[in-house]
Each structure stands twice: as structure tokens, then as C-alpha cells.
Structure 1
Amino acid sequence: MIAYIHGFNSSPASNTFGMLRKVFPDAHALEYPSSGFFPENLARLQKQARDIIDASSPFVLVGASLGGFYASQLSALLLCNCVLINPVVRPAQSLRQFLGPNTYFYGGQHWEFTPEMCDSYSIFADARSAPVKRMVVLGLADTLLDPEEARAYWKNYAFIHETNDGHSLTALDETIVRTLRDWQQ
């Protein structure tokens, strides 16, 4: 079973989840509000994941951007493999650029990202040593997050797969699809 976690200001209506569902129609989406605090959002995602985990099949997380950060945290708690697409690695720093008014990409709701919300991301655990398999997908043309920061952070802890995409993938390539299929066996 595959579960997808969206990025900041995004939702399961994202193109990435749409591409994932075309190849893996049974994929699920886990949701959190970008306007939430990190500990509560992680607990919310963990509950959603536990509600859908089926002991008879491997559980694999896929997360994009901030969802990649959440997937890395959650995979360590659930001991499941994960694919991290252009993942945020230091959210308390990376998210500072979004302080102030924000608008959700899908739905258009307006909300305020406060310094307290941003600071809540500084208390995460270093999940890199968890005994799980990880693929980190880096879009080399990403202008929102520096792919080299993610490469340096994950280099000894994950298989690094490069694409020529920007922050959003244009396709799930053969390597990503094959890895997800293998991890579901």
C-alpha cells in the first residue's frame, strides 16, 4: 500500500498525487493543514497512516517537499520505506520564506503562517538512522529548494535519484515506479 503526503500549501489534488494514482490506483492520501503546528500535524498523519495500514502488504510513504519531510519522520516511526520528492530537510529555516499571508494552491483559502508555526518545525528528530529504505528524488532544476542541501543531508542514508525536473515532477519515471513496485512486494 502506498500513501502520499502533500507539500506546503498543497493537497491531495496535486499533480504529483494525480500521477501516482494513475500508476497506483489504490494509493491513499494523508492530509495535514499547512496552518498547523508540526507536532500536531505529525500525530494527525501518524493516525491516518495507522488507520489504513494493512498488515498483509508493505506500507510505503511518498512525500513531496514538506510532505517529504513528514514522510521521513513518519517512516521512522512506522518503520516503512519512503520516497522523498524534493524534500525539505530543515523546515524551520526553509519555511521562513512563507511567513505571513498564504493561500492554499487548491481551494484558494487564505491563512497566516506565523513565526510560532514555523518555529514548531525546529523540534523534529533526526530520522536518518532509522532502519528503512529511502529514495530521495532530486529535481535538479528546483528553484524553491536547493537540491544540493537535500543531497548533502541524505547522501549516506538514501538512494539519490536525479531528474531534470523543477520543484514539481513532470512525470514518475521508470526508476521511481520500479522502486515503488519493488517495495510493495
Structure 2
Amino acid sequence: MQYVVIYLHGFLSSPQSQKATQTLEFVRANYPNLAIEIPQLANYPHEAVKNIELCIAKHKGKKLRFIGSSLGGFLSTYMVEKYSGKAVLINPAVRPFELLGDFLGEHINPYTGQPFLLENSHIEELRQLDTPTLDPKSDYWVLLQTADETLDYRQAETKYQDYKVTIEQGGDHSFQDFQRFLPDIFRFLLQD
């Protein structure tokens, strides 16, 4: 059976982000026949889920694999729990509905230039996507750096403690030197 890898970027990010482009370049160089999707996620949670589900629908019958960064890690977890599959999560947001309450108001995505308004209803949408308990049959590998300036890495360390977790001292929210993990990430994702 074939695989599809779906890379999910974080809040105020895009498929043009450094990790997304590094991932795409790695796949093109090493797995040229692998289906990979890096969708531009909508700025609102329920619309972002629809973006992801359109990617899933295009690859019906393929095994689902996700790479999710920050808010994309939160959404990847939701997708794995809903559809099954595997995910590599990079400094994932665990409770973004708590964090993004401080970001209500107008924003402009720095990659797309698209303005949007983050409201309480969107925070509630995130709360509805929460996965407080994880299926023991799910498979995650979580990459964390302790000096993440946006998220407390210990939240992810606790949530995913029953899965593979790699914690590096230092770093930042972008996960410094992410590309060095790409060979191992794809070995993990492309095995059953």
C-alpha cells in the first residue's frame, strides 16, 4: 500500500516556511515517487481541518502520515486520532486554545499577506479539536527543544509520554537544525 505524507505548518506560517521547504526538497531528492501534500492551511481551525481533509480525500486508500509543526502538530494529532496513521510532531502545540486567547484580534499572515480576524469562536473551534486522550495504537514521534520561546515543551512531553519523544536542550520554537532529522523522520513514517 502506498503512503501520503501531509505536512502541516503552524499558526501564521505557510508551505513556504523553512521546515516545509526542507521537507519537500528532501522528499524530491530521496523519495521522488512518494505522495506529499503541504497545504496552505486556512487561518481558522475548522477551515484548516477542511483543507487537510481535502488532501486526505485525494489520496483515498493510501496510508496517512503527518508531519506537524506547532499548531500543525495539534492538527496532526487530531487527524491521526480520527483517521489513524502516524505523525512526527515538531514542538507541537498541546493546548493552543489556551495560548491563542492572547492573540485575539487582527493579524496578517507574513507569508501570504492575508489579513484575518481571530475571534473567541475560533478559540472554541480549537477546543473542539482537542484530543485529551490518545489511542494506544496511534504512533507518534515528538521532537522538542527545551528553549522553545512560544510553547512549554513539558506539555508535549507529558501528553506524548507513551510514545517516542526526543528532547534537545536549547533550540527554539522553529526547532533549530530540523533538516538533520529528515532521514530518520522518513524512516519512521514509512515503516509499518
TM superposition score normalised by structure 2: 0.83
State the Cα distance separating 1:63 from its structure 2 match.
0.5
Q: Which residue of 2 aligns with 1:19?
A: 22
Aligned to 1:6: 9
RMSD: 2.0
Corresponding position of 1:97: 102
SS at match of 1:24: helix
Please list the CA deviations of residues 86-138 of structure 1 after superposition, one character each: whole Å capped at 9, or x if unmatched: 11111211211211121202022222111111122111252512522101111
Retained in 2: the 8 A contact 1:102–1:113?
yes
1:84 CA drift (Å): 0.8
Percentage of pairs with the same residue: 23
Say if 2:19 and 2:179, in contact at 8 Å, map to a contact too: no
Equivalent position of 1:146 in the other structure: 152
Please list the CA deviations of residues 53-110 of structure 1 after superposition, one character each: whole Å capped at 9, or x if unmatched: 553xx43100101000000011122211001111111121121121112120202222
Distance 1:71 1:106, change over 3 A: same
Q: Given the superposition, is the C-alpha separation of residues 130 and 143 from structure 1 closer, same or farther in structure 2, using an over 3 Å criterion?
A: same
Question: Runs of at least 4 residues of structure 1 off by over 6 A?
Answer: none
- Determine if contact 1:75/1:132 at 8 Å carries over to the other structure: yes
Q: How does 1:22-171 map to 2 (within 5 A)?
A: 22-25=25-28, 26=34, 27-34=36-43, 36=44, 38-53=45-60, 55=62, 58-126=63-131, 128-129=134-135, 131-156=137-162, 158-163=163-168, 164-171=170-177
Consecutive unaligned residues in structure 1, runs of 5 or more: none
Native 8 Å contact 2:144 2:175 kept in 1: no
Tell me which amino acid in the other structure corresponds to 1:14: S
**Is 1:172 matched up with 2:178?**
yes
Q: CA deviation at 1:173?
A: 5.3
